[in-house]
Amino acid sequence: MIRTPGLGHIILVLMLLATFLRQQPVEWHTRVWAPELLPPPRGRRYYNPRRNRERWLRRLAQRERRRPQAKHRQRRRRRDPGGGIQPLSYPPPAGVLKVKTPESTKASQAEGMTPFPPPEPPDPLADLRDQRGWIDQVPEQKLWALLVRLRWPHGPCCPHCGEDDPKYLKLIDPDYHSGLGRWRCRVCAEAGDPGEGGTFTPLTGTIWEGMRVDIRTLWLIVGRFVEGKASVETAKEAGVHRHTTDRHFRLLRAAIYQARSEEPIALGPEHIVEGDEVYIVAGLKGRAGGLELHRAPRRRGLKQRGRGTWDSDKVPVFGLLRRNGETRLFVLRNVRTKTIRPIVKQMVLQGARVYTDSYCIYHFLNEEGYQHATVNHSAGEYARGEVHCNTMECTWSWLRQMVRTYRGVSKVYLPLYVAQFEFFYNRRHQNTWNRTLDVLHIALQMDGKALRECVEGSQLAEVCPVAG
């Protein structure tokens, strides 16, 4: 009689078989790869939510850039009065003519569907919107007449010999250059002028002699310069190249710098003058002023502690301000007593009240005969009655804001920007129109040939010396 194995025997046989297989080599049923060839285990070891979000945003931005952009007018039409964005309604497929009636429109609105928007009517002011503002509404003859009057406030004058007697000057072509006009000087003509026979225009000898922009664009560029706009923004609005507006801006700054006043701002004890210094971060950019870089071209401002100097790319600017009056700003090479002493003695006469902080460079003021008083900023003192220099320090915040508009200024041209700020600060109580007239009047009175040679030859570093 054959007995069948029980459950206990079967379990025992399986355990013995497992022990035998565990002791045998496993090469016959699997293959072991070298550890360096195995892929790294996947897990959350390198999980970085911030990096993942940045990657997703970059991919979303790439998809948005590849998608064709809708016009501004279409985007505005998609928005409802409440500020939300309506769902788009696409036209029917080609070959299907869909006539909309009031009944179908009401039915579609009742069903919650967005009706197909009707065609937008033409803009009746499209021709005005394509223009550049009020400047395109003024006739060219009127703009030329204003420019001629600014050039010659007391009547025509020959730029070659200086003759202003009307009997020796004759207008020979009033329609020259669409209203600019052309004159002939009989003195220069009889003297055998080898040039153009003694003829001249109001732009002869100015910074705009031989300019190629029209009169409307010129007025627009000067207006934006007075408003403190950047050259790139002005070029887009005027419809010219950025280098054109940059050249005009630099010519205007050079003219303002040459015409800056050297008269004293304080004459006696009745005047109160505040003095202070500030440090503007400005380095060498490219080959500005014809100077070569002595450092890496992509290196930013030199991060040095302490008082700024010209060599540390933290250029000091010294300012004198008469309360309820004008200010004078000077770009310095260093902040020392021997540097600012001649400036103070020229701009402030002896006996005037001068208020500064407790910096040691101002200790000479008592010895020079000034009524000098200081405030100690390190001790938390910023005003003691009328003794303070807060007005001058407030002016520095406006200067930094003006320089920040131009996204970095070369220290070679920093005196030009400081002169521009000083010019408009002293006329801060005037409106934009009067400041525009002052800029044009000064630019038309300067020696245009010398300024053009400096600007075009990149030699403004010689025209703008730095004190010290």
Residue pLDDT, tens place only, 169-181: 999 999 898 889 9
Distances (CA, A) of 138 to 134, 179, 216, 406, 434: 7, 13, 9, 30, 18
Contacts of 437 (CB under 8 A, 6+ apart): 150
Q: How far is CA 381 from CA 12, 78, 79, 368, in A?
A: 97, 58, 56, 25
- What's the chain's Rg over C-alpha atoms? 38
Task: Determine phi and psi for 321, rounding to 5 degrees.
Answer: -130, 130
What is the structure's pLDDT at 71?
A: 60
* Residue of 418, 454, 414 lying closest to 310 (CA atoms): 414
Write down the pLDDT at residue 92. Answer: 46
Encoded tokens for 19: 């022990």
Single-letter amino acid code for the residue at 247:
R
Average pLDDT, the chain: 80
Which has the higher per-residue pLDDT, 352 or 96?
352
Tell me the CB-side half-sphere exposure of residue 258, using CA atoms within 13 A.
22
**8 Å CB contact between 318 and 335:** yes
Residues 6+ apart with CB under 8 A from 209: 203, 448, 449, 452
Lowest mean pLDDT among 8-12, 261-265, 337-341, 396-400: 8-12
pLDDT level of residue 40 (50, 70, 90 thresholds): low
Q: Which of these, 422, 374, 371, 350, lies nearest to 276 by C-alpha position?
A: 374
Strands 182-185 and 169-173: antiparallel
Q: Is 162 helix (H, G, I), strand (E, B) or coil?
A: coil
User: For residue 217, how many C-alpha atoms fall within 13 Å in the half-sphere facing its CB?
Assistant: 16
Indicate the helix (H) or strand (E) that contains 159.
none
Is residue 25 classed exposed, middle or buried when 0-12, 13-18 and 19+ CB atoms within 10 A define those classes? exposed
Residue type (1 letter), 456 = E
Q: What is the distance between the alpha carbons of residues 440 and 148, in angstroms, rounded to a whole number? A: 11
- Mean pLDDT for the stretch of residues 35-43: 65
Structural element, H or E, at residue 10: helix 7-23
Is it the case that residue 98 has pLDDT exceeding 70?
no
What's the pLDDT score for residue 14? 82
Query: Residue 114 is inside which H or E element, if any?
Result: none
Asked if residue 257 has pLDDT above 70, the reply is: yes
The partner residues of 317 in beta bridges, in order of sequence, read 278, 331
Are the beta carbons of 228 and 432 closer than 8 angstroms? no
pLDDT confidence band for 298 (50 / 70 / 90): very low
Pairing of strands 327-331, 314-322: antiparallel
Contact (CB, 8 A) for 209 and 171: no
C-alpha distances out from residue 81 to 85, 177, 331, Å: 9, 50, 54
Q: Within the chain, which residue ranges are assigned CATH 3.30.420?
A: 263-297+304-412
The answer to whether residue 210 scores a pLDDT higher than 80 is yes
Banded pLDDT at 394 (limits 50, 70, 90): very high
Tokens of 17: 């078989």
Cβ–Cβ < 8 Å for 152, 161: no
The Cα 383–Cα 374 span in angstroms is 9
pLDDT at 438: 95
- Quote the pTM value: 0.70
pLDDT attached to residue 97:
43
Q: What is the token pair recorded at 148?
A: 């001629």
Name the DSSP letter for residue 292.
P
Residue 384 has pLDDT above 50, yes or no: yes
For the domain made up of 263-297+304-412, the CATH class stated in words is alpha beta
Is 80 exceeded by the pLDDT of residue 139?
yes
Beta carbons of 278 and 317 less than 8 angstroms apart: yes
Contact of 346 with 363, CB cutoff 8 Å: no
Tally Cβ neighbours within 10 Å of residue 107: 12
